[in-house]
Amino acid sequence: MLSVSSWFRQGTFALLCLGALRAAPALAQRPAGPNRPADLLDPSFHRGRRDALRQQMPAGSVAVIFTAPVRNRANDVSYIFHQSPDLYYLSGYDEPDGVLVLFKEPQTVGGQSGVTEALFVQPRDPKRELWTGRRLGKDGAQRELKLQYVADNKDFAGAGIAWNKFNQVLLLDLPTDVRDEADNPADLYDLVASFRQQAGVPTDFNPRLTALHQLIQRYGVVNGDNLRPYIASQASAQPAIAADAYVQAFLKADTKAAREKVVASKPQSRFDGGTVSDVLDQLREVKTPEEIRLLRQAIRISTVGQQEVMKALKPDMSEMEVQGLHEYVYKKYGAEFEGYPSIVGAGANGCILHYETNDKPRIGQDLILMDCGAEYHGYTADVTRTAPPSGKFSPEQKQIYELVLAAQDAGFQACKPNVPFQAPHQAAEKVIAEGLKKLGIIKTDAEVRRYFPHGTSHYLGLDVHDRGSYGPLKAGNVITVEPGIYIPEGSPCDKKWWNIGVRIEDDVLITQSGWENLSKDAPRTVAEIESLMAQPSALDDFKLPELK
């Protein structure tokens, strides 16, 4: 799954009334109850993450992290709830309408002294749970998640947190576009509104803007030439950023001396939208052994999907059918979700980088690009393979495929601790540029971006494009290595290359001495793919009756 992030980073109760079913909040990913998986992360993991964040919080500060919003799909139907990865990482809580508060120094909350962490959760409600599933509630969250202080979300406003006495209030982006459920006085809308009122958050406060201020502080002098285009792109996308005097001053500063002057004039505010994000970048980019265990499972499931689908591929299949086979394998092995919308593109569709409609009725003889990843207990794989539905690569398909394969091998060799994050991309891009010149598809190195327009790597974890600093690679990073070549119809080259799209993507663990390909079980070479596709698939006997 290709990352588009920049170098600098990146419900109401349902009831029957006069025959109508009112909108219901989405279910949690892993509902409370006796059937919760036994291999979820242990509460000690989440406690360790909270402690690590608290250690880096400045003196006299408080950090506030809200749950994700429930999103409406259509009319009275919501999307399946997916928790904010940051809140899940820090707490293990997997339900909506909650907020986590971390204190640098112990506080008194709800009459309890010595509190350094407080989680406010949606309460138990048998009538609602009849419709939408079990909730942990206050007692369940205390028992299962083992936080120091847990209370119902309706108690957040009256918990007695002395917001005005903190030197700094540390935030992530506050949830926006959140529905106000009229019959739920402590939904996410009300929690955010209560926090804003209690803490005195200015109505025009923009956490993203304060994060950009911190980037200017950190990189504005030492790496200003690279930072300016990024800040300019953010300003062009958000009028509030474009209108900010500090941002304007930085963009106008065209010398080192001018930038030093701008950096020294940073506006002061109690409300900090960058520190928590920066710390979480540092923490989440290095995976713990517990996280690597879950990632291995997600990746292994995804590689089995690639294997079985390759064996089952036939020219008369549709893209949608191929997508369904991948996702059936995920469910069979207990993966709750796909980590991102599956990309299954045949022929010309394989040349669309984030093609997600997957609606071609017959894939035919063209190569099919399958960028698919299972999400297992919150952690996602990201594996791409490209295969010929006929079982054999044509000469042109093979040449492009083997060029991408050679580029990926070069990218692998560049994976080691302490090298720049961009090293795998630079190695892969060099191979592709030389190869395309030899094939007569381009004439100069500068033209390579026409056919290889994306980066080669991104972090992988709770998000498919996971948090990270994008600094030098470190042992414990899990990254993708995913070079590709895409030659759409109409390209300025021989027509025999048109509509060939190839991406090969693997998930790589950076080790103390080098790298490990976690997705190596999915075949990569032409010989391996053609040999596997000649074998029967466990999916071959999955026959449905014809619809009449």
Mean pLDDT of the chain: 92
CA dist 368 and 390 (Å) reads 10
Instruction: Quote the DSSP letter at residue 459.
Output: B
CA dist 384 and 405 (Å) reads 12
CB 122 within 8 A of CB 96: yes
DSSP structure string for 497-538: GTTEEEE-BEEEEE-SSSEEETTTTS--SHHHHHHHHTS--T
The pLDDT, as a whole number, for residue 64 is 98
Over residues 375-429, the pLDDT tens digits come to: 999 999 999 999 999 999 999 999 999 999 999 999 999 999 999 999 999 999 9
Range from 36-45, 265-274, 316-325 carrying the lowest mean pLDDT = 265-274
Cα angle 356, 357, 359 (rounded to 5 degrees) comes to 135
CA dist 544 and 548 (Å) reads 12
Q: Model's pTM, two decimal places?
A: 0.91
What integer is the mean pLDDT of 16-34? 43
Q: Domains of the chain, with CATH numbers?
A: 43-199 (3.40.350.10), 207-269 (no CATH), 286-534 (3.90.230.10)
CB 111 within 8 A of CB 160: yes
In angstroms, how far is CA 323 from the centroid of its own chain? 20
What integer is the mean pLDDT of 6-26? 34
Instruction: Find the farthest-apart pair of alpha carbons in the chain and give their distance in angstroms, rounded.
Output: 76
pLDDT exceeds cutoff 60 at 15:
no
Structure tokens at 477: 């990073």
- The percentage of residues in the chain with a pLDDT greater than 70, rounded to a whole number, is 94
